[in-house]
């Protein structure tokens, strides 16, 4: 982990590196299972990157490694955010630096209202968006601010999970399957908010099984297959490349 990144040697990483956010030769394990097998990619500031691939390709594991969660265990590689070495940090330090992970299960805290769920994210600095700014982006959350968070619909819970990330001063939003189980009309609504978040300059990495919807939103895409990158390019290139989509995304 103490080797300096040499981006020129890695075909997956743009020649313009070091970028705002970069992952370099990341390797991670669950126990003996080698899951993330030398993953490298760059994300530019304010960009939306879709991290795609079939079930079990290693997308969630890559997000968890970036967020510096304990599992999977990172054994090699570097992760840089705005010249800061994330790979040397623990999860709470990564969060403080501006990594905001919205996990697949959304983690709404039972027994707390919508507003209490949001406020809990703000008990320690760095504080991000104010409640009024959050409710402006998500009017439904404002209307339901006194309702218990876990009683919201699936789409509203997803909004709350994103709102909670924004309540902290984040630089990079990591979204794990934000559209899962949601009706297309709700996906439209969430997509709109993700575009607004992008306009505010926040960088986003989105993992999503609904690859077409994720690609329509994203600037760039990285495709993983059994823990390795098999494509790194623009989202438009993936949408236009039928064989790539069929082989790795089944779409």
Query: Does residue 181 belong to the site contacting ligand ATP (CB under 6 A)?
Result: no
| Residue number, 180 or 189, with CB nearest to ligand ATP | 180
Q: By C-beta, is 115 or 225 nearer to ligand ATP? A: 225
Compute the least distance from the CB of residue 39 to ligand ATP, in Å. Answer: 11
Query: From the CB of 30, what's the least distance to ligand ATP, in Å?
Result: 3
Name the residue with tokens 């607004």: 196
Is 35 a binding residue for ligand ATP by CB under 6 A? The answer is yes
Q: In DSSP terms, which residues pair with 14 in a beta bridge?
A: none
Between the two ends of the chain, the Cα-to-Cα distance in Å is 37
Give the integer Cα–Cα distance in Å for 213 and 136: 24
Which run of H or of E encompasses 156?
helix 154-166
Shortest spacing between CB 71 and ligand ATP, in angstroms: 5
Question: In this structure, what is the dihedral angle of CA atoms 71, 125, 193, 148, given to the nearest 10 degrees?
Answer: 80
Taking residue 28's Cβ as centre, other Cβ atoms within 10 Å add up to 23
* Contact set for ligand ATP, span 45-74 (CB under 6 A): 53, 55-61, 71
Shortest Å distance, C-beta 246 to ligand ATP: 18
Site residues for ligand ATP, 71-90, by CB under 6 A, read 71
Residues 209-238 that bind ligand ATP (CB under 6 A): 209
The closest alpha carbon to 177, from 49, 59, 6, belongs to 59
Catalog residues that contact ligand ATP under the rule CB under 6 A. Answer: 30, 33, 35, 53, 55-61, 71, 209
């Amino acid at each position: 982990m103490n080797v300096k990144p040499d981006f020129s040697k890695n075909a997956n990483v743009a020649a313009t590196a070091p970028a705002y956010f970069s992952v370099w030769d990341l390797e991670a394990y669950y126990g003996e299972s080698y899951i993330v097998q030398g993953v490298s990619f760059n994300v530019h500031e304010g960009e939306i990157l879709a991290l795609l691939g079939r079930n079990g390709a290693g997308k969630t594991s890559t997000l968890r490694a970036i967020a510096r969660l304990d599992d999977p265990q990172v054994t090699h590689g570097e992760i840089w955010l705005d010249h800061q070495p994330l790979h040397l940090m623990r999860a709470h330090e990564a969060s403080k630096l501006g990594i905001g992970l919205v996990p697949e299960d959304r983690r709404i805290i039972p027994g707390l209202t919508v507003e209490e769920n949001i406020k809990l994210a703000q008990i320690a600095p760095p504080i991000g968006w104010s409640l009024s700014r959050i409710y402006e982006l998500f009017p439904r959350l404002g209307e339901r601010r006194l309702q218990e968070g876990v009683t919201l619909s699936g789409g509203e819970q997803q909004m709350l999970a994103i709102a909670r990330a924004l309540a902290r001063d984040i630089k990079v939003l990591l979204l794990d399957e934000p559209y899962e189980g949601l009706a297309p009309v709700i996906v439209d609504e969430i997509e709109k908010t993700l575009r607004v978040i992008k306009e505010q300059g926040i960088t986003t990495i989105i993992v999503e099984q609904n690859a077409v919807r994720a690609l329509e939103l994203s600037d760039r895409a990285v495709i993983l297959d059994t823990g390795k990158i098999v494509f790194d390019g623009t989202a438009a290139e993936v949408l236009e490349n039928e064989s790539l989509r069929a082989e790795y995304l089944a779409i």
